[in-house]
Amino acid sequence: MKVLISTDIEGVAGVFHPEQVRAGNPEYERARRLMANEANAAIAGAFDAGASEVLVNDSHGGFRNMPPDLLDPRAQAIMGKPRYLSMMSGVDEGVSAVCMIGYHSRAQGRGILAHTINGFAFTRVFLNERELGEAGIYGALAGEYGVPVVMASGDDVFIEEHRPLFPHATFVQTKRATGQNSGISLSPTQACEAIRAGAAAGVAAALLQHNTAPTLVASRTALPPEGAGLAWGGPAQRPTPLPFVLSGTIAVRIQTQSPALADLFCQWPALTRLDGNMISFEAPTVEAAVRMINCLSAMSTMLR
């Protein structure tokens, strides 16, 4: 079974300040190694559970943060941008499960370094009237490929926000938020141990589903309500993970950080201006919505 590990940095243990997530300073150099160590822990956990192949996606900023020579050589690294599937690149390579490492709360959330895709450009992002952060957006993109999120790590606010979307997943809390740039963290060693165990548990559940045809599978045509997302099947009647799926045309609504950004984005004829800093568009799929949102993110550099 092939596993994709998508690795961000804001949810990594010991990371609290914007300096740590921006290239060009010693704080970032330390943080990118902490990021690689947590990725390695997830890689090890996936192989512990029986994965046959692991892809690790560098999913922060310019997508080239983790030094490749520090990554577990058993895994293959996905790095660099632009790429169509962005933080979920590799999900189209025949993977059966996704682990999200170092993820964070959505924009306007209470979590450490909370934002959604581009903190300069976007205040809030809604897909089909459901406010989502990066994990929700890219979890829905994985769901479009039929792949569940089976494990995720980050701070307590990230977990609180995303447990209803991925109720089947194993969550690992690396730190507790006390503010946007403050919190109480596990040591890097403790965090890596917990991530390895969590990844092994999540991948083991996916492997059970991969190897055993379930006798009953919940509908994948609608958003899972809180507490949903489990299918029961197989001789042991164990819970197996289901993808998080948004069906039909995807209605996207974005609150921008300023009216000037809305002015810029609405140069694109496909977008509709709803008010001073609220825009909207429709996309046929989550993948198309993600590609459009990332184009808007790139456009925003004109106003920096």
Written as one letter, the residue type at 115 is H
* Catalytic residue, candidates 17, 60, 104, 115: 115
| Long-range residue pairs from 289-292, CB within 8 A, at least 24 positions apart, any chain | 289/127, 289/137, 289/250, 289/252, 290/85, 290/86, 290/88, 290/137, 290/138, 290/141, 291/84, 292/252
CB atoms within 10 A of CB 25: 11
Cα 121 to Cα 115, 243, 293, distances in angstroms: 10, 29, 10
The CA-to-CA distance between both ends of the chain, in Å, stands at 43
CA distance 135 to 165: 9
The helix/strand/coil state of 294 is helix
CA distance 82 to 281: 22
H or E segment to which residue 164 belongs:
none
Look up 104 and say whether it is catalytic. Answer: no
CB atoms within 10 A of CB 173: 20
CA distance 277 to 271: 12
CA distance 208 to 39: 23
Written as one letter, the residue type at 230 is L
Residues identified as active-site: 115
